[in-house]
């Protein structure tokens, strides 16, 4: 599996979207950036992203609600919460809903790249294990 990772940046601040896009441009991935849930849903329906960098505070729909919708519709996508307003409650809720990571702004370029790479590795590992587990169960049943 040597395909380029598809990363979606979701933040209502243009400067943040541009910054993350620039940071990830040098890595082996395809990056898109949007600011609303409507845009997220449209892009995910066309071709689901591997990793979603998601802000918590947005005008149309808050990040926790977006996270919940993403994990229900596209559970194989890894979501990294990046917020300038961290709370213990939102961190617990995000993890309970299936967020891969929870970062607080400001985040440096290395943090964005490391978190994205780790999430992508986790997704590949989970998909590999899932297909391996199914094959292993079939083998065990056949014995």
Top CATH class of 5-142 equals alpha beta
Cα distance between residue 141 and residue 143, in whole Å: 6
Of 61, 58, 55, nearest to 79 by C-alpha is: 55
Strands 101-104 and 51-54: unpaired
Reading the chain (143 residues) residue by residue, the pLDDT tens digits are 457 899 999 999 999 999 999 999 888 899 999 999 999 999 999 999 999 999 999 888 899 999 999 999 999 999 999 999 999 999 999 999 999 999 999 999 999 999 999 999 999 887 777 655 444 443 333 33
pTM: 0.86
Q: To the nearest 10°, the Cα dihedral for 66, 69, 72, 74?
A: -70
Cα distance between residue 91 and residue 97, in whole Å: 10
Of 114, 91, 95, nearest to 27 by C-alpha is: 114
Residue 136: which residues within 8 A CB-CB, separation 6 or more? Answer: none
Cα distance between residue 89 and residue 107, in whole Å: 20
Parse the chain into domains and list their residue ranges.
Answer: 5-142
15-44 in b/e form (b: 16+ CB < 10 A) is ebbebbeebbeeeebebbbbbebeebbebb
């Amino acid at each position: 599996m040597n395909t380029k990772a598809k990363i979606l940046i979701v933040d209502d601040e243009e400067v943040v979207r541009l910054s993350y896009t620039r940071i990830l441009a040098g890595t082996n991935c395809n990056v898109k950036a949007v600011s609303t849930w409507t845009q997220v849903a449209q892009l995910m329906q066309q071709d689901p992203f591997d990793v979603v960098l998601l802000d918590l505070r947005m005008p149309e729909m808050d990040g926790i609600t977006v996270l919940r919708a993403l994990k229900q519709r596209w559970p194989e996508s890894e979501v990294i919460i990046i917020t300038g307003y961290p709370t213990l409650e939102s961190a617990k809720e995000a993890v309970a809903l299936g967020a891969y990571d929870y970062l607080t702004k400001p985040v440096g370029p290395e943090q964005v790249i490391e978190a994205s790479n780790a999430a992508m590795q986790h997704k590949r590992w989970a998909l590999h294990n899932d297909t391996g587990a199914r094959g292993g169960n079939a083998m065990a049943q056949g014995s």
